[in-house]
Amino acid sequence: MRRPIIPGLVLADSWLAPYEREIKARMRLFDSQMERITSKHGSLMNYSLGYKNMGFNRAQETGAWVYREWAPGARELYLIGDFNDWNRKSHPLTRDSYGVWEIRLPALALQHNQKVKVHVVGSDNIGKDRIPAWIRYTKQDPQSYDFSGVIWESPQPHHWKNKKFKPSSIKTPLIYEAHVGMAGEEPRLHSYREFADNILPRIKNLGYNTVQLMAVQEHPYYGSFGYHVSSFFAPSSRFGTPDDLKYLVDTAHGMGIAVLLDIVHSHAVKNMAEGLNNFDGSGGQYFNAGERDALHPDWDSCLFNYGRGEVMEFLLSNLRWWLDEFHVDGFRFDGVTSMLYVHHGHEPFTDLGCYFNTQVNLDAVTYLQLASTLVQQVKPGALAIAEDMSGMPGLCRPVDEGGLGFSHRLAMGLPDYWIKLIKEVKDEEWSVGDIWHTLTNRRYGESNIAYAESHDQALVGDKTLSFRLMDAKMYSEMGCDSKSGVVDRGIALHKMIRLATLAAGGEGWLNFMGNEFGHPEWIDFPREGNDSSYQHCRRQWSLADNKQLRYQFLLAFDKAMLDVVQAKNLLGSRPARPVNLDEKNQVLAFERGDLLFIFNWSGDQAIADYQLPAPAAGTWRVILDSDKACFGGFDRQDDKQRHLTDKSQNLSLYLLPRSCMILARENISWHG
């Protein structure tokens, strides 16, 4: 492929000019991998179809079973399972010159729902029963807790009803981050079908157009939140069958909701009984070898070797599998910072040179470029969101420009900022300039997913925004007839923080389930330390539905602000522009999408006749007011009043303490 003399990444950002050589080197690495792939497989699309060759498949002509496993260091492999009474010697596999082992069985030899494993005698001459690497379903024995692979050929396979849904129909992603198992109110595991029938309608009604599912890839420990994956091609059996997951995705598509998968390609569980670790007994294979590089220093998990062709094929095919088989609409790539750097993000990023030095894992960069390219080739318009806290330049720029090709990055600094502000700074000392700078400080031309909090803040050991703002008062003073200054402050700031972050923080929005109504409790998975309790591993929707409690007001405000975002395609508009940063009065005002957003962060100062420069002359009216009684406010403003600019194009407004408003110009079309 002929490349431009100067990479597009440098043309878009002249500060990157000193690193032109490094950017070009990355582009050459990507081109060389693409050349290798296309010369051998014809295209990246063909290369990603490894799941049709590896693992368990039926021969097209005869219907016979063919099982293949890559284990180059192994001495012997034997297929074992229900079909042969777990005989470790009766069904040996044969090895080819590439280290791929194979066995063929008659069409009726393996039946739907039968358990299987592969007995591997590794290069260390130790025999172990392992779960096949490409297995598409697993089950855990309730007595022994042992996982086994499962043959899945459903006698009543899911029939897709909503095949015409396209992720490109989503103008800007409004993401509802969710965990299926804890999505119900009862203290137990909940299922894919329960989520589809009971939770998706809530998500649709609120105005979210995308759901991001956590913990779908199979993981042996429930409390890992799904981030210690063992079987990458298998949907977790805790929540139901593969057909149940397909039902969930199909139901979402019928509602016009895109489905993202939280994909974990940054590391893998180190368990040998359930996962891929030391599969062929060589000490490496899928993962890095050597004591220093083998395990993640924080997560105690295995690190993939992205420079090995078979590993790259495994991971790319994994993406293709979820896109093809389950019709997902993209991915949120977990732990991208850990992938990008040899130090896994443990060193500070003090200057641009930190993104282009020898600490960058170039094999991982190339893999991520191939992954983002593949996702778009398979499903144009699909989302590829990167969880990166380092600020890697070009992460969300096209690969042809020298970027990594992601559609969005998570604005990870925003929730950290709000938590730090609430914890460490008195209300009267909040700086509107600091708030504005934090919300809008992002790389030019790279789309962000803004969020004020995610699952990270909801886990035990941390606190959600609502819990930090109101703490124990949430248990005793959330009644509509209660008088509580703490709760009044908490509700007011909760609304303001979310609206400011949503409107100014990026080109997409993310909310973790329950946070929209200020869910009062943390998430704590069943574990030894809490007597295996599900008490805090659920979402209490009844709190928001209860008309005697104030949670309903936060829920109503969330829906109202998303209505504005959808009606105006706000996040598809140009970035927010400051109109007024008044440190003395703690007033922040900005314009975006022909709307005027005004925040009075002061806790006690109501300002009459506040003179505010308007983005345009004319008559303005309030279309959203956080002080409305339906949002838990006090109805102190007349929503019928119109505001006319004066000769200097100023508006005269009454600003209530701890409140925010959105104004729209009268001659601008509005259908809210």
What contacts 133, CB < 8 A, 6 or more positions away?
Answer: 54, 55, 69, 70, 276, 279, 286, 314
Sign of CA pseudo-dihedral 612, 615, 620, 626: negative
Query: What 3-state DSSP class applies to 330?
Result: strand
CA Rg value for the chain? 27
334 catalytic, yes or no?
yes
Tokens of 378: 């398979």
Tokens of 287: 């993962």
CA torsion 509→666→590→629, rounded to 10°? -70
| H helices present in 163-199, as ranges | 192-194
Q: Give how far Cα 312 sits from Cα of 1, 66, 281, 371, 625, Å.
A: 21, 22, 20, 9, 51
- Of 69, 250, 280, 387, which residue is the catalytic one? 387
What contacts 26, CB < 8 A, 6 or more positions away?
Answer: 362, 365, 366, 369, 402
Residue 267 contacts residue 301 (beta carbons within 8 Å): yes
Q: Exposed, middle or buried, 124 (CB in 10 Å: 0-12/13-18/19+)?
A: middle
85 catalytic, yes or no?
no
| H helices present in 505-550, as ranges | 541-545
Residue 306 contacts residue 225 (beta carbons within 8 Å): no
Give the whole-angstrom CA distance, residue 512 versus residue 176. 6
| DSSP conformation class of 197 | I
Number of H helices, E strands in the chain: 18, 27
- Of 218, 313, 334, 524, which residue is the catalytic one? 334
Residue 209 contacts residue 170 (beta carbons within 8 Å): yes
Query: What 3-state DSSP class applies to 531?
Result: coil
Give the whole-angstrom CA distance, residue 58 versus residue 48. 18
Give the whole-angstrom CA distance, residue 15 versus residue 9. 10
Angle, helices 485-504 vs 432-440, to 10°: value is 40
Give the whole-angstrom CA distance, residue 492 versus residue 485. 11
Give the whole-angstrom CA distance, residue 375 versus residue 209. 20
State how beta strands 595-600 and 587-592 pair.
antiparallel
Cα–Cα nearest to 50, from 328, 312, 379: 312
Positions marked active-site: 334, 387
